[in-house]
Structure 1
Amino acid sequence: MTVTTNRLEAAVQPTALGELVPSNVSELVGFTLARLGVGHVFGVVGSGNFSVTNALRKAGVAYTAARHEGGAATMADAYGRMSGKVGVVSTHQGCGLTNAITGIGEAAKSRTPLIVVTADTAASAVGSNFKIDQDGLARSVGAVAERVHSPASAVADTVRAYRKAVNERRTVVLSLPTDIQAAAVEGGPRRGRARSSATADRTRVGCRCRSGRAHTQRGAPRIRCRPRSPRGSEGDRGTGRGCRRVGGDLRRRAWPL
């Protein structure tokens, strides 16, 4: 079976993932691997690989927890040889990968199609105890070193790793730096309420009630600012008057005391 990159990338874009809407890069990588058709995940979950492993499970890929990463890599190697599908190993950054390296080396030398999804330290974590040369380690045992470089390239990076595993029958170590894992992806859900630049640039009127909220002149959401005390809003003390948004105009209303 030969995998074509362009067709795969079109099939696994966030808009083509159906109900699976990734909120960050780690989820996008997990959903992409599931969409590509990986068969089973073996691993030991830590903080670095929790999100991507959870995304694979959410997408319907079976997961087997191992007591040691070396056992996980050996199980994935055997699964790939016997099933004809691509097995996946999931490890924590640094020590999780080094624990699995014997099994990874055996799979690489046997030309088993296998993907090792491993976390990696952020570029800024220069003093981290988990920081090692993961790409160099993977190449030293005959595996192919790949990594996710950015949110924009996450799908292409994942497809490239899968393509090499299938087309070239290689064991591929796909590193996911923790800072890139947490980055939001375009088209995914965002926290908080986004404000358009047009609204942000509109001139604010002079009303600022005791609630501390200033109102835009037009097009803002419907807002009511009830005074915190019967004395009314700032500038109208003692009148019991507050502000409300009606349509696009800021009007005054007397609240019952």
Structure 2
Amino acid sequence: MIVAEAVGEALARFGAGTVFGVVGSGNFHVTNALAANGARFVAARHEGGAVTMADAYARVSRGLGVATVHQGPGLTNAATGMAEAAKSRTPLLVVAGEVAAAAVRSNFRVDQAAIAAAVGAVPERVHSPQSALADVARACRTAVAERRTVLLGLPLDVQAAELPEPSARTSARNRPGRVPALPVPPPDAIAGLADALQAARRPVFVAGRGAR
């Protein structure tokens, strides 16, 4: 089993039941592995749409949202959706291909970790075949337990490598926990708002990011 297949299998076990994305050569194998292990793949026309769909899915389902995109321009197309999800503390995992470290002349080479950090997401990476499953578990745990948007980079050379034997396959005890609920305002704050609305002659609501 190559690393990309093992990552897809692990993500499916960790709760990636529905995945949104645009497939390219950099995320082809991991997306196939997700589907082979029971995930439903929803194709989008644009990476920005894919990440926004995954964001909305996570908010409504109260679970983990997952999107998968190509490296370089695939990720830059997704940046606005990642920023929105990060600002809203959506538990979202963006799985992206990444240029191999040795491919210094690739025109798809961009600092993907810096892009993620710049919009408030948490950059993670599958560092090696030996650490692949632990890297995936860490990324999922951060997304779920801390309600963070996480970029999981998959370097092409690592993806194509064989998973070492014997492989530490994922198990139930390695699964991330439940997504914590968003904070609820204290009762006195809610009562104060109700009083203010009741006393207002012309109440106006300004609904911002994340309003439903």
**Quick check: 1:123 aligned with 2:95?**
no
Alpha-carbon offset, residue 85 of structure 1: 1.5
Q: Equivalent residue for 1:57?
A: 35
Given that 1:38 and 1:85 are in contact with CA atoms closer than 8 Å, whether structure 2 keeps it comes out as no
Structure richer in helix, relative to its length: 2
**Quick check: 1:29 aligned with 2:10?**
no
**SS at the partner of 1:33?**
helix
Alpha-carbon offset, residue 38 of structure 1: 1.9
Q: Equivalent residue for 2:49?
A: 71
Q: Which of the numbers 43, 48, 61 marks the counterpart of 2:26?
A: 48
Q: Which amino acid aligns with 1:61?
A: A
Deviations along 1:198-224, one digit per CA (max 9) or x if unpaired, are xxxxxxxxxxxxxxxxxxxxxxxxxxx
Q: Equivalent residue for 2:131?
A: 153
Given that 1:39 and 1:85 are in contact with CA atoms closer than 8 Å, whether structure 2 keeps it comes out as no
Given that 2:17 and 2:38 are in contact with CA atoms closer than 8 Å, whether structure 1 keeps it comes out as no
Larger radius of gyration: 1
Alpha-carbon offset, residue 142 of structure 1: 0.2
Alpha-carbon offset, residue 187 of structure 1: 3.3
- Same amino acid, percent of matched pairs: 63
Alpha-carbon offset, residue 58 of structure 1: 0.3
Q: Distance in 1 between matches of 2:134 and 2:75?
A: 23
Alpha-carbon offset, residue 36 of structure 1: 1.0
**Quick check: 1:109 aligned with 2:87?**
yes
Alpha-carbon offset, residue 167 of structure 1: 0.5
**Quick check: 1:167 aligned with 2:167?**
no
Q: Which has the higher contact order (CA 8 A, sep 6+)?
A: 2
Kindly report which structure 2 residues correspond to 1:148-227, keeping only aligned pairs within 5 A, or say none: 148-187=126-165
Unaligned runs of 5+ in 1: 1-22, 189-257
- Length, aligned pairs only: 166
Given that 1:29 and 1:52 are in contact with CA atoms closer than 8 Å, whether structure 2 keeps it comes out as yes
Q: Which amino acid aligns with 2:34?
A: L
Q: Equivalent residue for 1:94?
A: 72
Unaligned runs of 5+ in 2: 167-212
Q: Which of the numbers 121, 124, 136 marks the counterpart of 1:143?
A: 121
**SS at the partner of 2:93?**
strand
Q: Distance in 1 between matches of 2:18 and 2:85?
A: 16
Range with bigger deviation, 54-63 or 32-41: 32-41
Q: Which amino acid aligns with 1:128?
A: S
Structure richer in strand, relative to its length: 1
Q: Equivalent residue for 1:12?
A: none
Q: Distance in 2 between matches of 1:113 and 1:70?
A: 17
Please report the TM-score for the alignment, with normalisation by the length of structure 2.
0.77
**SS at the partner of 1:137?**
helix
